[in-house]
Amino acid sequence: MSNRDRLAAAGLTLPPVPAPAAAYVPAIRHGDLVVVSGQLPLRDGVLLATGLVGTDVTQDDAAELARVCALNALAAAASVAGGLDAIASVLRVGVFVAGADGFAAQHLVANGASQLFGDVLGPDAVHARAAVGVARLPLDAPVEVEAMMAVVAGA
């Protein structure tokens, strides 16, 4: 099954690539690698939530926001890789969680992103990951996801 087929089977579509909020590009390709800049939980240019996980945003909602970030990351990667089916695998994912004092379930929030990658890329989505708690994120977003992906040889 292709990545596009799995995306459709999951009831998802790739969104437009969110515009960068500063002086960077959403994704860059070097050879057969794509590095995706941190993606926020934006839909149609609108930040879906703000604040800290554990007070302003629930852990479950933050995991859903991480899925949105991961979908945006796939859109950014596909835009420089030659399409979604040109993504061979996810190598590394970084998930940053703006958590309230004492919040220590960053890894569970990060599962939202990891599961989205699995839904779309299947077994090729197995990746290394870091889940990091931070004081604040850009635009007061509760979660941000970055990634490194491999491109199908010759794509």
Going from the N-terminus, what domains does the chain have, and what CATH number goes with each? 3-151 (3.30.1330.40)
Return the pLDDT at 86: 98
Full-model pTM: 0.97
Question: If you average pLDDT over residues 92-121, what whole number do you get?
Answer: 98
Indicate the pLDDT class of residue 124, thresholds 50, 70 and 90: confident
Alpha helix (H) ranges present in the chain?
Answer: 3-9, 59-81, 106-121
Return the pLDDT at 18: 85
Q: What are phi and psi of 35, to 5 degrees?
A: -110, 125
Indicate the pLDDT class of residue 153, thresholds 50, 70 and 90: confident
**Is there a contact between 54 and 103 (Cβ–Cβ < 8 Å)?**
yes
pLDDT one-digit tens code per residue, 74-84: 999 999 999 99
Collapsing DSSP to helix, strand or coil, 146 comes out as strand
Return the pLDDT at 154: 75
> Would you state the structure tokens that stand for residue 78, as one six-digit string?
């596909």
Angle at 153 between CA 117 and CA 20, to 5 degrees: 50
Question: If you average pLDDT over residues 35-46, what whole number do you get?
Answer: 96
What gap in Å lies between CA 62 and CA 141, rounded to an integer?
A: 10
* Residue of 38, 47, 108 whose CA lies nearest to 73: 38
Question: If you average pLDDT over residues 110-135, what whole number do you get?
Answer: 96
What share of the chain in percent tops pLDDT 90?
A: 94
Question: If you average pLDDT over residues 107-116, what whole number do you get?
Answer: 98
Indicate the pLDDT class of residue 145, thresholds 50, 70 and 90: very high
Cα 141 from chain centroid (whole Å): 13
